[in-house]
């Protein structure tokens, strides 16, 4: 563009502006000799094209007469002609400048004249005849063309900044929105790189973290989180960077002897970086734990209420018989009738005594005051004694079979407690077996004694098996008794260092089993039993210190089969849905998950993914249908440790579990 047509050197001066910078100090001056008009025209066209394409109009103003000269199609380039603006001097320009901006414009003109050679900038609104508004930005400064010349000119360029302002407004709005969202978010944002270093932190001004923001930037995440949580987050960062998918995980953080829980949603951010939106979910987790505890307590209270109602009935029944037949006996003279009444009174007295003893035993168990009196025990003699007592109680239609080794079997234990357990087993067998057989069997294997009571009676329904050894559960309300016998037996056996189990086929019969270790001295037995008692007090009384396994298995029959396979060595808890499984993980922290992934709705695989969001260390074993390789592949991809194929043997399942816990 031409600033002046000729100068002392007989040349024309051009000014080149960098349109990206749009600053007067970016102007570059050079001269083209007047004797080369072709080159002069070429440069002029190039400069004009550059300016026009960037909506830049160049002008100069003679301050003596206030006339303005445009050096390209000024009004068209700036789109001022679209709103009807036409001016060629400062007086007319004044008519088209917004009244609020006009004083600033004259002030900048004054600065340009008093501070010659300095760039001045102003933004103002140009207003058309119909009130249309268009934003302009002027850059200019004052010059004196020739030495000794007193005429003053101002040269400059004007830029239509409508689009620039739109972008600035949009950027400001985004900045305000970003700030508002940052303040409104319930958590904070960490930006991690693929090496787990913290690159950026975004959080509300009111939020306080353990470290200041200045300390956090550049910190290795391993210095923030525990090794286990660090491994979990790194695993999800790498997975997110590989497939670009959202990762959601929950993890604990221990601070000042308190445990907090956080949820992180991880998404790809910049190159080799992820953005982790982190929220404190401790209250939610505690509410879940409290809800689970409340439900457990409600269920326990319900069972206790039912139990107390049953006990009231069970106590009144023999008591009424005793009182009633005692009154009849007093008035009866016939010896045969008197003998019959005495027999009824004696029978009901024994029943009442048994009920009271059961209640006392369960009370001692609840308070942890169960007594085990260790002494040398002749197991052969004990079995014979138990058999003789119960032989008299057998129905005519029932054959009583006793099987035991011919060689002597001795140990140090509490013979009365062993007899109490066998009495419970045999009493139940007699009650539920109308015909067929009942077998009392003794076996010795290595350092253990195994006791079996098998009957061909009514059997136990599959849906009742999980509740067999639970407190306050009575499986058959038509049979007299407290229903506490099996619960008491379980606790007695476990206090003696043994284990108890049962198998049953409905309408075909049941087998109840318990095993006890063989001790060679009273001291050995007492020490072992004492240690077992301490362990029982420390652990949940229902699982007696066994490793806990959560089994996702919607089918009750399949769960009962698993319980038969594993129940003697592990404490199994059944869940039927993904949400139940996660709730149980949060509330009870099991040692291993056993998940059925063969169900068509894919709950098993989704559950694996959800568990892995909590922990990458807890073992997960999937159960899949033989030949379904797709399920197996999905399970391994989701993060399970092993897959066992149905149908599987007890040894195969045991081997898989033992490898991890």
Q: State pLDDT tens for residues 147-181.
A: 656 667 888 889 988 888 888 888 888 877 777 77
CA distance 321 to 7: 137
Measured from the Cβ of residue 571, the count of other Cβ atoms closer than 10 Å reads 21
Read off the pLDDT of each residue in 142-146 and give the average, rounded to a whole number: 66
- Per-residue model confidence (pLDDT) at position 650: 82
pLDDT of residue 351: 73
Pairing assessment for the beta strands 509-517 and 448-455 based on DSSP bridges: antiparallel
Q: Does the pLDDT at position 40 exceed 70?
A: no
Could you give the residue ranges of the DSSP H alpha helices within 118-161?
none
Tell me the three state secondary structure of residue 41: helix
pLDDT-derived band at 29, boundaries 50, 70, 90: very low
Alpha-helical regions (H) of 102-198:
102-114, 162-184
d(CA 503, CA 48): 98
What own/partner pairs with CB < 8 Å and gap ≥ 24 does 518-525 have?
518/411, 518/444, 518/447, 518/448, 518/449, 519/411, 519/412, 519/413, 520/412, 521/412, 522/374, 522/375, 522/376, 522/412, 524/412, 525/374, 525/411, 525/412, 525/413
Q: What is the DSSP letter of 170?
A: H
Q: What is the mean pLDDT of the chain?
A: 81
pLDDT 10s digits, 284-293: 878 877 776 7
pLDDT at 595: 92
For the chain, first and last CA: distance in Å? 84
Q: Is the pLDDT of residue 33 over 70?
A: no
Q: How many helices (H) and strands (E) does the chain have?
A: 18, 24
Please say whether the beta carbons of 618 and 648 come within 8 A: no
Mean pLDDT value across residues 256-270 = 87
Whether the CB-CB separation of 251 and 265 falls below 8 Å is answered with no
- Alpha-carbon gap, residue 538 to 533, rounded angstroms: 9
Alpha-carbon span 371 to 374, nearest angstrom: 10
Tokens of 591: 């040692």
pLDDT at 20: 42
Is 252 a residue whose pLDDT tops 70? yes
The DSSP H or E segment spanning 531 is helix 522-538
Round to whole Å and give the CA distance between 55 and 80: 11
Q: Each residue of 417-468: pLDDT tens digit? A: 999 899 889 988 998 999 999 999 999 988 899 999 999 998 988 877 777 7
Is residue 8 very low, low, confident or very high in pLDDT (cuts 50, 70, 90)? Answer: very low
**Cβ atoms of residues 196 and 273 within 8 Å:** no
SS3 128: coil
C-alpha 300/C-alpha 23 separation (Å) is 80
Token code pair at residue 265: 């949603």
pLDDT over 70 percentage in the chain = 84
| Residue 312 burial (C-beta neighbours within 10 Å; 0-12, 13-18, 19+) | exposed
Q: How many percent of the chain have pLDDT more than 90?
A: 22
Q: Are 625 and 598 in contact (CB under 8 A)?
A: yes
Q: Is the pLDDT higher at 435 or at 311?
A: 435
Residue 259 corresponds to which tokens in the numbers above? 């445990």
So what's the pLDDT on residue 659? 84
Distance CA 114, CA 146 (A): 18
What does the alpha-carbon distance between residue 547 and residue 572 come to, in Å, rounded to a whole number? 9
Q: Which of 215-229, 376-390, 429-443, 579-593 has the lowest mean pLDDT?
A: 579-593
- Give mean pLDDT, residues 533-560: 70
Mean pLDDT comparison of 32-36, 308-312, 386-390, highest-scoring range: 386-390
The contacts of residue 653 (CB under 8 Å, 6+ apart) are: 562, 565, 566, 644
Dist CA 538 CA 516 (whole Å): 21
Can you say whether the dihedral through the CA atoms of 23, 26, 32, 38 is positive or negative? negative
**Residue 294, both tokens:** 């409340």
Q: How far apart are CA 438 and CA 391, in angstroms?
A: 10
Q: Which of 161, 160, 157 is nearest to 69 (CA)?
A: 157
Residue with tokens 């029944």: 317
pLDDT band at 268 (very low <50, low <70, confident <90, very high): very high
Mean pLDDT of 58-72: 82
Closest C-alpha to 570, from 538, 546, 605, 601? 546
What are the C-alpha distances in Å from 479 to residues 71, 107, 223, 278, 661?
112, 107, 64, 58, 41
User: Are the C-beta atoms of residues 554 and 562 closer than 8 Å to each other?
Assistant: no
Domains and CATH numbers, the chain: 11-161 (3.30.450.20), 185-280 (3.30.450.20), 298-538 (3.30.565.10), 547-658 (3.40.50.2300)
State the pLDDT confidence band at 249, using cuts at 50, 70 and 90.
confident
* Residues 191, 193, 194, 196, CA torsion sign: negative
C-alpha 292/C-alpha 581 separation (Å) is 12
Query: Which range, of 56-60, 86-90, 472-476, 520-524, averages the lowest pLDDT?
Result: 472-476
CB 551 within 8 A of CB 561: no
DSSP string across 240-263: HHHH---EEEEEEEEETTEEEEEE
Count how many Cα atoms sit within 13 Å of the Cα of residue 353 in the half-sphere of its side chain: 6
The whole-angstrom separation of Cα 627 and Cα 543 is 35
């Amino acid at each position: 563009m031409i600033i002046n047509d000729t100068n002392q050197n007989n040349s024309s001066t051009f000014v080149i502006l960098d349109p990206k910078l749009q600053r007067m100090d970016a102007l570059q001056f050079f001269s083209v000799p007047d004797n080369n008009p072709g080159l002069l025209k070429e440069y002029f066209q190039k400069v004009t094209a550059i300016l026009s394409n960037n909506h830049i109009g160049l002008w100069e103003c003679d301050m003596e007469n206030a006339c303005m000269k445009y050096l390209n199609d000024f009004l068209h380039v700036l789109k001022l002609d679209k709103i009807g603006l036409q001016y060629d001097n400062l007086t007319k320009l004044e008519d088209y400048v917004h009244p609020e901006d006009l004083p600033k414009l004259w002030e900048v003109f004054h600065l340009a004249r008093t501070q010659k050679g300095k760039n001045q900038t102003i933004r103002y609104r140009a207003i058309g005849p119909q009130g249309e508004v268009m934003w302009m930005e002027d850059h200019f400064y004052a010059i004196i063309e020739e030495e000794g010349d007193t005429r003053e000119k101002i040269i400059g360029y004007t830029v239509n900044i409508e689009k620039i302002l739109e972008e600035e407004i949009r950027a400001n709005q985004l900045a305000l929105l970003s700030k508002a969202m940052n303040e409104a978010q319930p958590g904070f944002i960490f930006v991690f790189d693929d090496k787990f270093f913290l690159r950026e932190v975004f959080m509300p001004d009111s939020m306080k973290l353990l470290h200041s923001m200045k300390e956090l930037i550049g910190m290795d995440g391993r210095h923030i989180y525990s090794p286990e949580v660090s491994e979990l987050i790194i695993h999800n960062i790498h997975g997110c960077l590989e497939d670009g998918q959202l990762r959601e995980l929950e993890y604990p953080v221990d601070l000042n002897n308190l445990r907090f829980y956080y949820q992180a949603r991880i998404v790809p951010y910049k190159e080799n970086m992820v953005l982790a939106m982190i929220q404190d979910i401790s209250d939610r987790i505690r509410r879940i734990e409290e809800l689970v505890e409340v439900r457990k307590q409600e269920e326990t209270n319900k069972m206790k209420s039912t139990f107390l109602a049953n006990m009231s009935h069970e106590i009144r029944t023999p008591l009424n018989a005793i009182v009633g037949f005692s009154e009849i006996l007093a008035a009866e003279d016939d010896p045969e009738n008197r003998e019959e009444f005495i027999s009824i009174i004696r029978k009901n007295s024994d029943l009442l005594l048994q009920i009271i003893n059961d209640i006392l035993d369960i009370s001692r168990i609840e308070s942890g005051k169960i007594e085990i009196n260790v002494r040398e025990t002749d197991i052969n003699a004990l079995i014979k004694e138990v058999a003789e007592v119960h032989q008299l109680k057998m129905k005519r239609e029932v054959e009583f079979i006793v099987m035991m080794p011919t060689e002597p079997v001795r140990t140090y234990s509490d013979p009365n407690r062993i007899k109490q357990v066998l009495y419970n087993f045999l009493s139940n067998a007699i009650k539920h077996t109308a015909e067929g057989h009942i077998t009392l069997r003794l076996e010795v294997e290595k350092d253990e004694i195994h006791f079996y009571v098998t009957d061909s009676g009514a059997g136990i329904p599959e849906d009742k098996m999980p509740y067999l050894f639970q407190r306050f559960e009575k499986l058959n309300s038509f049979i007299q008794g407290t229903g506490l016998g099996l619960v008491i037996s379980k606790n007695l056996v476990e206090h003696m260092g043994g284990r108890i189990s049962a198998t049953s086929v409905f309408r075909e019969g049941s087998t109840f089993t318990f095993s006890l270790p063989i001790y060679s001295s009273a001291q050995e037995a007492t020490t072992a039993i004492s240690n077992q008692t301490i362990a029982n007090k420390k652990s949940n009384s229902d699982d007696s210190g066994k490793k806990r396994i959560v089994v996702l298995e919607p089918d009750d029959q399949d769960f009962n089969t698993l319980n038969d396979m594993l129940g003697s060595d592990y404490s199994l808890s059944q869940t039927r849905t993904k949400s139940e499984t996660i709730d149980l993980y949060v509330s009870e922290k099991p040692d291993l998950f056993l998940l059925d992934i063969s169900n068509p709705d894919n709950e098993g695989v989704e559950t694996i993914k959800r568990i892995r969001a909590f922990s990458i260390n807890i073992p997960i074993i999937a159960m899949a249908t033989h030949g379904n390789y797709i399920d197996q592949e999905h399970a391994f991809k989701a993060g399970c440790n092993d897959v066992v194929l149905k149908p599987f043997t007890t040894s195969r399942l045991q081997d898989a579990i033992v490898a991890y816990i």
